[in-house]
Structure 1
Amino acid sequence: MKSKILALLGSTLLTGTAMAGGYQVNLASQRQIGMGHTGTGLNTGTSSIFFNPGAMAQARNGVTIGASFITAKIGYQAPESNKTIQADNPTGTPFHVYGVYGITDKLKAGIGVYTPFGSTVKWGDEWNGRFGLSELSLQAIYVQPTLSYQITDKLGVGAGLVVAFGSVNLQRVLPVQNSNGDEAKIEMDGGANTTVGFNAGIHLQASDKLSFGLNYRSKINMEVENGDVTFTNVPAAAGANFQPGTQFSAALPMPATLSFGIGYQASDKLTLALDISRVEWSAYKELRFDFTKPVAGNNFSANARNYEDVYIYRIGGEYKVNDALAVRAGAYLDKTPVENGYLTPETPDADSRGLSVGLGYAFSEKFGVDASFLYINKKERTDLANLSGGVPGTFKSIAYIPGIAFNYNF
């Protein structure tokens, strides 16, 4: 079965989104993506706002603007079936904007705007899991004003306030039909309330060659209140169960992440990095929607998720060919937080293997460009249990993610 799904996915590059574990998106810097998305133990320039605010005090004054373009495909096979269903998804475009400015020689201020969580998947209205999900779009945007202070020549600390907002849109088919035989549908759409968290880090330059970093990004609960519920094709006889004007409330955790990183300057030209992150996915216990009016006789719907905490292991390197050109490569393993029995079509997750390459080119001391390419291959996963409203069967995902960023120093 694996070879059939891989052949299908590799035959055509359709649109979609690819995530790290769960609905996390680790695409915060084109330079660091090229190095396997390492950076906690390094001075990564303006992107230290994300990777480790403790290193931001060492960054040059500057601005970075970048984006990735996710081309991905998710394949599904029902039990005892040779037919593969393909999710038809739009191109994902996570982005990042960073700016750093020195207030004094030791104190720097910065601001970052980035998209660390999100998911878009479109299964359509005809597959066998349509009563669970036909389409989902989730987006979270973080705005992070940050301060960083260089305590000594070797030790820096920093922290930023994270202001988060976003939106969610979920659609599925209802198991009723109108007089024309059309299946009824439900769509839930809402914007999340503005929520606050933080990002803090410490960076130690232990020697000329060796550096360490520790970074913590707090959990943020994205909450939707008074989102709109829209019903279509509902037969008149079932109207009392699907009333116009219904609204919903829901909450979804953006989990905390603790990262430890090591940087090693192997030579004047070669930089190596290693990161280990623990993502506290156990905060995601259930997906619950509360309704202002009964839907199918119920005032709420709830499905267990019971995610578990997981680790991400990253390694990467950068080699400076000359003063202008740098080449990069990296790899990572991102363990899935989804336990057996809880695999769902909203996040058909599995252990992710990522391979990346990148390059940077400095046109001058002030202006440069970074480009990266990331390949993600998630393990094929079969889950025949149904403990969470999922769809039994086999899922397989792959993704191709080019990206580009522009840097200006002043």
Structure 2
Amino acid sequence: MKTTWLKTAIAIAVGALSTQVMSAGFALNEQSISGMGTSFAGRSSSADDATTLFGNPAGMSRLKREEVSFGMAAISAKTDIKDTSAFTPQGPGGLRGPVGGSNDGDMVPVTAVPMGYYVKPIDDKWAIGVGVYVPFGLIADYESGFQGRYHGDYSEVRVITVQPTVSYRFNEKLSIGFGPTINRIDGQLESASLSRFTPGINDGRVKVKGDDTALGFNAGLLYEFSPQTRAGVTYHSKVKYKLEGETKLSGAGFDQFAAVGLQASGEYDASLDLDTPESVDMSITHDLDDQWTLYAGAMWTRWSRFEAIVIENQGIPGPLQPSLAPIVEEQNWHDTWSYALGAAYKVNKEWTLRTGLAFDQSPTNNTDRSPRIPTGDRTAVSVGLAWNPTDDVTVDLAYSYLWEEETKVRHEHPSKGIYNATYENSAHGFGAALSYRF
């Protein structure tokens, strides 16, 4: 799913659509296991447990008891790569040479996504809470000798968010909620570097690391038309980061510069400006009767903010500056919509079954898509269950399967050459959570 440069890693995190995550771009959906069971169809309106702190902070007003919830989602992705070819950049006279290598496709290890929430009602109107979750993340680790290694063979990005939150219930129908978010981002991008002396062999190695902490907010509104029907809308703000870190050059491709009296290997200061996009999540929940509940939702994400990644590197040797100082990578993503439908069936007091279907648009385009984020439009189906052994305890389990349309990578870069391939991505998601009410 997703040049190993900091810019790309962050871009992927911002894009929330890598092959190992269950949402578009590099955003993650896995902040609620109960929501996972319905493909997050009622995320901003269900307000069934403490995970509503993320889904819609206004929903905390519906919780009548103090509640704590902890969960974990595990994601196992699979990628098939075919129809591959790779070439070096144009040399004198426009000549190119072939680049060899493998295309195993097993670049996404099993990934764990943790979450935890606490909500405490103060009275009939006020409730407070705090949540810790992962809104963006990705990891792509191609094999050594990957044919597209010059365009990126390792990418890891993670955002961890802490959200203190408050909600207020005006009356029986209208509630609002607000929570500032404290967001910590860190990323690592790696790629092979094409040797200028012996293209295709004696690769160099580029490794970029960076991190930052920045503030944002989530706000929500919940309106209950009747005891059976409610609708919600949640706004997740953009977050503006200034990542600071280092670029490390190593390996034979850079060591060869010593022969001409130039020290290229080493570490250099790097920085990247990055905005993760804002989104608006809307849904409706309807209790059909005492057993059936129906959900429908849609979410808009402003991925068009992500036009290009520009990494500033300080102190790069002169001969390398055209490709390394700064590094510019076009993205040109577009805004996306996702849609979901879900249902829950209460078998009895102890057991509830859930299912859902979702469709996510990809923000990438056919021209700028790279092997770091080789994703397309996706469809997901989910099932889940809730077990209530007592009035105080709920155990939620969920499973999701997603598949993407066949996606083509036709990536050309002036200093990295060409990599062409066709990707078929799919993933299994498993989730478990425990909620306890005091």
TM-score, L = length of structure 1: 0.90
Amino acid at match of 1:76: I
Residue 73, structure 1, aligned to residue 93, structure 2: no
Amino acid at match of 2:284: I
Deviations 1:11-69 (A, max 9, x none): xxxxx823411111111111110011122122232111111111111123200000111
Residue 28, structure 1, aligned to residue 5, structure 2: no
Residue 186, structure 1, aligned to residue 213, structure 2: no
| Secondary structure of the corresponding residue to residue 384 of structure 1 | strand
Q: Residues 188-227 of structure 1 correspond to what in structure 2 (within 5 A)? A: 188-190=208-210, 192-227=211-246
Amino acid at match of 2:203: E
Q: 1:84 to 1:188 in 2, by over 3 A?
A: closer
Residue 49, structure 1, aligned to residue 53, structure 2: yes
In the aligned structure 1, how far is the partner of 2:207 from the partner of 2:79? Answer: 22
Higher relative contact order (CA 8 A, sep 6+): 2
| Secondary structure of the corresponding residue to residue 226 of structure 2 | coil
Name which of structure 1's ranges 352-361 and 245-254 shifts more when overlaid on structure 2: 245-254
Residue 297, structure 1, aligned to residue 321, structure 2: yes
Equivalence for 2:21: 18
In the aligned structure 1, how far is the partner of 2:197 from the partner of 2:118? Answer: 55
| Secondary structure of the corresponding residue to residue 59 of structure 2 | helix
Equivalence for 2:190: 171
Of 241, 255, 260, 2:282 maps to: 260
Residue 246, structure 1, aligned to residue 249, structure 2: no
Equivalence for 1:350: 376
Q: Does the Cα contact within 8 Å between 1:34 and 1:373 map onto a contact in 2?
A: yes
Amino acid at match of 2:238: K
In the aligned structure 2, how far is the partner of 1:146 from the partner of 1:232? Answer: 48
Amino acid at match of 2:289: S
In the aligned structure 1, how far is the partner of 2:413 from the partner of 2:222? Answer: 43
In the aligned structure 1, how far is the partner of 2:379 from the partner of 2:131? Answer: 27
Name which of structure 1's ranges 269-278 and 37-46 shifts more when overlaid on structure 2: 37-46
Q: Does the Cα contact within 8 Å between 2:58 and 2:222 map onto a contact in 1?
A: yes
Residue 282, structure 1, aligned to residue 304, structure 2: yes
TM-score, L = length of structure 2: 0.85
Equivalence for 2:97: none
Equivalence for 1:323: 349
> 1:122, CA displacement in angstroms?
1.1
In the aligned structure 1, how far is the partner of 2:411 from the partner of 2:55? Answer: 38
Residue 362, structure 1, aligned to residue 388, structure 2: yes
Deviations 1:202-260 (A, max 9, x none): 00110122111011000113331133524233454425373423121113332111011
Equivalence for 2:422: 394
Equivalence for 2:67: 62
Amino acid at match of 2:45: G
Q: Does the Cα contact within 8 Å between 2:397 and 2:432 map onto a contact in 1?
A: yes
Q: Does the Cα contact within 8 Å between 2:159 and 2:185 map onto a contact in 1?
A: yes
> 1:327, CA displacement in angstroms?
0.5
In the aligned structure 1, how far is the partner of 2:255 from the partner of 2:35? Answer: 56
Name which of structure 1's ranges 132-141 and 68-77 shifts more when overlaid on structure 2: 68-77
Q: Does the Cα contact within 8 Å between 2:378 and 2:404 map onto a contact in 1?
A: yes
Name which of structure 1's ranges 218-227 and 52-61 shifts more when overlaid on structure 2: 218-227
Amino acid at match of 1:23: F
Equivalence for 1:335: 361
Q: Does the Cα contact within 8 Å between 1:19 and 1:119 map onto a contact in 2?
A: no
> 1:320, CA displacement in angstroms?
0.6
> 1:391, CA displacement in angstroms?
3.3
In the aligned structure 2, how far is the partner of 1:288 from the partner of 1:80? Answer: 27
| Secondary structure of the corresponding residue to residue 214 of structure 1 | strand
In the aligned structure 1, how far is the partner of 2:37 from the partner of 2:131? Answer: 20
List runs of 5+ in structure 1 lacking aligned partners: 1-15
Amino acid at match of 1:41: S
In the aligned structure 2, how far is the partner of 1:226 from the partner of 1:182? Answer: 26
Amino acid at match of 2:74: F
Equivalence for 2:292: 270
Q: 1:236 to 1:126 in 2, by over 3 A?
A: closer
Amino acid at match of 2:206: I
Name which of structure 1's ranges 303-312 and 205-214 shifts more when overlaid on structure 2: 205-214
In the aligned structure 2, how far is the partner of 1:380 from the partner of 1:292? Answer: 40
In the aligned structure 1, how far is the partner of 2:202 from the partner of 2:388? Answer: 58
Equivalence for 1:98: 117
Q: Does the Cα contact within 8 Å between 2:162 and 2:182 map onto a contact in 1?
A: yes
Q: Does the Cα contact within 8 Å between 1:332 and 1:353 map onto a contact in 2?
A: yes
Q: Does the Cα contact within 8 Å between 1:219 and 1:255 map onto a contact in 2?
A: yes
| Secondary structure of the corresponding residue to residue 312 of structure 2 | strand
In the aligned structure 1, how far is the partner of 2:391 from the partner of 2:238? Answer: 38
| Secondary structure of the corresponding residue to residue 69 of structure 1 | strand
In the aligned structure 1, how far is the partner of 2:58 from the partner of 2:45? Answer: 10
Equivalence for 1:404: 432
Deviations 1:257-311 (A, max 9, x none): 1011111110111111111100110111112211012262242111110100010
Q: Does the Cα contact within 8 Å between 2:50 and 2:119 map onto a contact in 1?
A: yes
Aligned length: 392
Q: Does the Cα contact within 8 Å between 1:27 and 1:37 map onto a contact in 2?
A: no
> 1:86, CA displacement in angstroms?
1.3
Name which of structure 1's ranges 221-230 and 322-331 shifts more when overlaid on structure 2: 221-230
Amino acid at match of 1:183: D
Q: 1:79 to 1:232 in 2, by over 3 A?
A: closer
Q: Does the Cα contact within 8 Å between 2:255 and 2:265 map onto a contact in 1?
A: no
In the aligned structure 2, how far is the partner of 1:189 from the partner of 1:384? Answer: 26
Q: Does the Cα contact within 8 Å between 1:177 and 1:233 map onto a contact in 2?
A: no
Residue 233, structure 1, aligned to residue 238, structure 2: no
